[in-house]
Structure 1
Amino acid sequence: MRNKTSALLLASAMAAGSVLLSAPAASAAAYCSSDGYTVTGLPIERCTTLSNGVLVHKKDYNNPTRIWTTYDKTGGSTVSVRLGYTLSGGTTYSGYFSISSGQTVQRSWSRSGAFMCYSSTGLLDYSGGHFQTPAAHC
């Protein structure tokens, strides 16, 4: 019964969009320059340094139907956050997730159409405020 429940939960998570919790070493979010670029330096991957982590928003030429927002939490207490993005005047959010120092939360969404070069921003909401990345674009 436990395996069936785990398989059902995994299938539900996959259908709703990918969610990942991992150690920060596995995250590309660990570096963010003062002008909002990750280590890649590409305009399709933008970031914001926060007091307790890094928020990254990414589109991928190799997987043009996916869009990602990632929060790499490097300090502070456990908080409940939701991730999202803005694109073409619309805003999309995930549900809320608890995250502790040393963890990474990533949310991805499937998009259809030619959205790749449209400007979009990554969003992070929590009870204490709202943060966003600079615009990701081609």
Structure 2
Amino acid sequence: MVAALTLGSLFVAASPAQAAEKSCPRSGYISNNNVCTTLSNGVLSHQKYYNSGAYTQIAVTQYWKSGGSRIYKRLGFTGPFTNVGTQWQGWGYQYSGTNKSFSKNYLNSLSGCRSSQGLMEVSGSTVYKTPWSANC
């Protein structure tokens, strides 16, 4: 998935920092700004990274579904900046053996950046969460 933002004549495109996490360390921390949690049928991960060329902060939540029946879910993350609330993508189905991601670019200074966590809400179930990422 590629996220894009047009700012006047500036076009910013960014793809997730890496492929979906198919495994997760017990601690849940791959690095300070790359966190994950292992669920019974997959791995939920969340990343934040800085695109220095475009001066944007990018937040990405991904879910690698490794097994089980299809689910109806939405991905999101807590606001990575003090002026941004929790962000959600639309609802959709996900099948075993697939990766889905949700990402957004933010044209914010790093001074407003705060810790965030990835979220996945499954219809008729609960909201699953990653550990909190570090501040930027």
Q: TM-score range by the shorter chain?
A: 0.7 to 0.9
**When the two structures are superposed, what TM-score results if normalisation uses the length of structure 2?**
0.74
Q: Which has the higher strand share?
A: 2
Equivalent pair of 1:82/1:125 in contact (CA under 8 Å):
yes
Partner of 1:10: none
Counterparts of 1:5-44 in structure 2, within 5 Å, are 27-38=19-30, 42-44=31-33
- Indicate how the Cα distance of structure 1 residues 82 and 44 shifts in structure 2: closer, same or farther if over 3 A, else same: same
RMSD: 2.5
Tell me the number of residue pairs that the alignment of Structure 1 and Structure 2 aligns.
115
Partner of 1:131: 128
Q: In the aligned structure 1, how far is the partner of 2:29 from the partner of 2:23?
A: 8
* Structure 1 residue 61, shift from structure 2 partner: 3.2
Q: In the aligned structure 2, how far is the partner of 1:130 from the partner of 1:82?
A: 9
Partner of 2:88: 93
The secondary structure found in structure 2 opposite 1:110 is: strand
> Partner amino acid for 1:45?
N
Q: In the aligned structure 2, how far is the partner of 1:80 from the partner of 1:112?
A: 31
Structure 2: segments with no counterpart, 5+ residues? 6-12
Stretches (4+) displaced over 6 A: none
Q: Which has the higher helix share?
A: 1
Q: In the aligned structure 2, how far is the partner of 1:117 from the partner of 1:37?
A: 19
> Partner amino acid for 1:121?
Q
> Partner amino acid for 2:66?
T
Equivalent pair of 2:61/2:102 in contact (CA under 8 Å):
yes
The secondary structure found in structure 1 opposite 2:78 is: strand
Partner of 2:75: 83
